[in-house]
Amino acid sequence: MSNSSISDPAPAWLDKGDNAWQMTAASLVALQSLPGLAVIYAGLVPQRWVINSMMMVFYAFAMVLICWVLWGYKVAFGEYMIPIAGIPNTVTRMSDELQQSVLPSANLTQNFPQATMIYFQFVFAAITLVLTAGGFLARMNFRAWMLFVPLWLTFSYCIGAYSLWGGGWAFQMGVLDYSGGYVIHLSSGTAAFTGAYWIGPRLKKDRERFIPNNLPLMMVGAGILWIGWNGFNGGDPYAASPDAGAAVLNTNICTAASMLTWTLLDTVVHGKPSIIGSVNGMITGLVGITPAAGFVAGWGAIIIGACTGAIPWVSMNIAGKRWSLFRNYVDDTLGITHTHMVAGALGGFLTGLFATAPGVAAFADTNPGGAIDGNGRQVWLQIVGALFIWGWNVVWTSLIMLFIKYVCRIPLRMSEEDMLIGDDAIHGETAYCFFDNELSDTVSGPQVIEGKHVRSTADFDPPPNQGSKIESHRKEL
């Protein structure tokens, strides 16, 4: 490619509409992480874990971007090296950013610059690590998280992305994953499940009583997540195409059906509709439709939504509470195993059943659709793809955790003392600063716990008698 074609402000290959939509879609996905999931996590955890939860999200977003432009993008979407990975390389030169986007191993070109594709794929990589963090909250050592992010991105996410999207073996076989049901959600759910096992559980008191500190804040994040998914699924045709519109509509149909199914089950079984339960149902619907979004018809989206509202509900509320594996060994803080691993695998399987030939063709794929259109082989391909992503992530998440713990000598879990204190011990900050810190320290004096300087306990405890009043009120309710 000549320098003149790179520097041309309006090259012949550029479609301004496609480029504008792709950048908009990428920005919507970025908002799902910052602030979307950051404030969902902050609202769902007790007050002393707000800062740490948001910081895990914030750090992952930044670290993934640097790794992505230095080597990650080319491993996931570059030229063929092996069936599961492209050749590592940087994409930091101006010529990298201005040239036409090409996915060489998949033999695909797009009508926008490579810079747009790099950023669009980055926000998907970032949100995968952000979702994984939801399983580790309230006890993972932050230094271990700092090392886990680049390692897992490199050896897990990039491999899945190349295999299913970048032109690798699963792409060539015909496994369908419209926008990341496997690459993002199944992988993050599996990593959360596996990593939670190696890290170990939260404090006993947190497992027994993990009270959300701000449900309205959680709902703000949930709204950002839902609407941001229009870019998540609507951006994956890589064009402002009819199929992008179908993907957006189906995304919302499935999400509504899933949320309503989960809420109905809460009402029937527990006697009351739960706002947290409804958000879980919303998330499982978003996850379940992701591998199918532009492939299925509207009726297929409703069926998928009913399934993703029901099966993950059973997984979380019955298996998750009764199975000894979850009660004794795997402490997945926010249930990412159920909302992403279970829902992602389920959505991928149902894609094999309900993908339509016209929907797949509108996506510019030559696959003849799913079982509903006579291609029963697609069901088995979807199972193979799911097993690969699941197995690869169990193995590599385990290897990375063991490397951090035994080779790098960094504890995976915080100390008991840090877990008792939370944000102030780990970051020296608290979430809700409705007091004068200097005055508080002057009047009450500092406290020292195990050699760590923290603010007076008066800053954290409720006013005199307030705790007993609150507990009395709960009993009355």
Residue whose pair of structure tokens reads 């810079």 in the numeric block:
115
User: Which residue, chain included where needed, has tokens 């409804």?
Assistant: 278
Going by pLDDT thresholds of 50, 70 and 90, the confidence category of residue 9 is: confident
d(CA 236, CA 247): 9
Average pLDDT, the chain: 91
Query: CA geometry: angle at 304 spanning 302 and 310, to 5°?
Result: 105
Task: With beta carbons less than 8 A apart as the criterion, state whether 79 and 104 touch.
Answer: yes
Strand partners, 109: 102
Its sign, for the CA torsion 44, 46, 49, 51, is: positive
pLDDT band at 435 (very low <50, low <70, confident <90, very high): low
CA angle 403–404–408, rounded 5-degree value: 95
Q: Which helix (H) or strand (E) holds 275?
A: helix 275-289
Rounded to 5°, the CA angle 166-33-120 comes to 30
How does residue 473 score in pLDDT terms, banded at 50, 70 and 90? very low
Distance CA 99, CA 168 (A): 23
Distance, in Å, from the CA atom of 337 to the CA atom of 194, rounded to the nearest integer, reads: 9
Query: What CA–CA distance (Å, rounded) separates 391 from 383?
Result: 12
Q: How confident is the model at residue 455 (pLDDT cuts 50, 70, 90)?
A: very low
pLDDT band of 10, cuts 50, 70, 90: confident
HSE-CB for 4 with a 13 A CA cutoff: 0
Whole-prediction pTM:
0.90
Report the pLDDT value the prediction gives residue 443, as an integer from 0 to 100: 37
Residue 453 pLDDT exceeds 50: no
Instruction: Give per-residue pLDDT as tens, 381-391.
Output: 999 999 999 99
Least confident interval from 180-184, 360-364, 381-385, 462-466: 462-466
- pLDDT, mean of residues 365-370: 92
* DSSP track, 51-108: HHHHHHHHHHHHHHHHHIIIIIHHHHHSSEEETTEE------SHHHHHSEEEETTTTE
225-282: pLDDT as tens digits: 999 999 999 999 999 999 999 999 999 999 999 999 999 999 999 999 999 999 999 9
Q: Quote the CA–CA distance of 35 and 57 in Å, as a whole number.
A: 9
CA–CA gap between residue 137 and residue 213 (Å, rounded): 14
The whole-number average pLDDT for the span 409-423 is 96
Q: At 378, is the secondary structure helix, strand, or coil?
A: helix
Q: What are the φ and ψ backbone dihedral angles of 91, each rounded to 5 degrees?
A: -135, 50
Please tell me the number of Cα atoms within 13 Å of 228 on its side-chain side.
23
**Bridge-based pairing state of the strands 85-86 and 80-82:** antiparallel
DSSP assignment of 14-53, as one string? --HHHHHHHHHHHHHHHHIIIIIIHHHHHHHS-GGGHHHH
On whether the CB atoms of residues 92 and 178 are closer than 8 A, the answer is no
Quote the pLDDT of residue 5: 60
Candidates 338, 350, 337, 185; CA nearest to 254 is 350
Tell me the pLDDT tens digit for each residue of 18-74: 999 999 999 999 999 999 999 999 999 999 999 999 999 999 999 999 999 999 999
